[in-house]
Structure 1
Amino acid sequence: MKKLLGLLFVMFILVAATEISNPHENQESSIEGTWELKSFYNYDGEGNIADTLPTTPGYRQIKMYYNGKVMWTRYVPQDSVEWFGYGSYEVTDSTLTERLEYMSASMRKIANDSMVWNMILVLEPNQYSQIFVDEEGNKINSENYIRID
């Protein structure tokens, strides 16, 4: 009986250590968390990735999704303009919709009138892409994120 309890204890420790080393690996994909932008894709007219653009050195864009709220900020070393936004979001299996309630003045200058962004969502446990489409549903470009928390 002691050997069985000892074996069960060792198995419990191994499972717990695996979960601690990569807590998101066994989770179902969820957008809740903190993400960092790592690259952009541009698409050709056929919906295929035409090129991949990594972020430039020092550039950081962070997004946080929690309890139906989204907040993001961007830092560009060579630019003194502030970029940030806050609002709500909705997710389905294949879409991400963000509705910003407020944003930086620089973002407001380029924002659409409704301040709503509808995107295609490709979500995995530790990375996701939000793909922007034109009025006809053709893929234009994407922002590609990795989970940092």
Structure 2
Amino acid sequence: MKTKSLIITFVLLSTLACKSNSENDKNNEEAIVEDVVKQNGLKGTWELTGFYNYKDNVVVDSFDMNPDFRQIKIYTDDKVMWCKHKPADSSDWFGYGTYKYDGERLTEILDFGSVVMDEVIAEKKEFTFELSLTENRFEQIEIDEDGNRIYSENYKRVE
């Protein structure tokens, strides 16, 4: 009887130890990804993959990119540049400036851009977004004046 109790106790302890180790491994992996995100932040080259539309702060629609249309963003330590390529549109679309990211909010302050963007920049230079960032993806979320999510541009890291 003692042997049977010891075996059951051993099996239970082994099971708990394995579960604890797998939880620790998962927590360690999440911490490593979080450290990489903190170290690298947005620095790198990103490509737009699609959009989300929100209603009551919940995604209600999503759209993938048209393969003929491309948008790239490049972040250095403190500069940002983005450009669009849309073959059917003869106008140029690009912007250049600085950015700040505090872990939750991304603010881009554009200095200049294409002819079309310079018209936008003349009215508004600073663009602030909620940002959801992981190691190889981010969502740049437009917020209305009441703090509600409207839509997001979704990017993947390409370099």
Task: Give me the TM-score of the superposition, normalised by structure 1.
Answer: 0.79
| Secondary structure in structure 2 of the residue aligned to 1:90 | strand
| Poorly superposed stretches of 4+, deviation over 6 Å | none
Q: Which amino acid aligns with 1:60?
A: R
Q: Which has the higher helix share?
A: 2
Q: Which amino acid aligns with 1:37?
A: L
Unaligned segments of structure 2, at least 5 residues: 1-32
Deviations 1:57-104 (A, max 9, x none): 211100000020000000011111100000000001111000000011
Q: Contact 2:34 / 2:134 at 8 angstroms: preserved in 1?
A: no
Unaligned segments of structure 1, at least 5 residues: 1-24
Matched positions, count: 125
Larger Rg: 2
Distance 1:54 1:111, change over 3 A: farther
Tell me what 1:39 maps to. Answer: 50
Q: Contact 2:132 / 2:138 at 8 angstroms: preserved in 1?
A: yes
How far apart are 1:111 and its partner, in Å?
A: 4.4
Task: Give me the TM-score of the superposition, normalised by structure 2.
Answer: 0.74
Q: Which amino acid aligns with 1:67?
A: D
Structure 2 matches for 1:44-63, cutoff 5 A?
Answer: 44=55, 46-63=56-73
How far apart are 1:140 and its partner, in Å?
A: 0.6
| Secondary structure in structure 1 of the residue aligned to 2:119 | helix
Distance 1:147 1:56, change over 3 A: same
How far apart are 1:34 and its partner, in Å?
A: 0.3
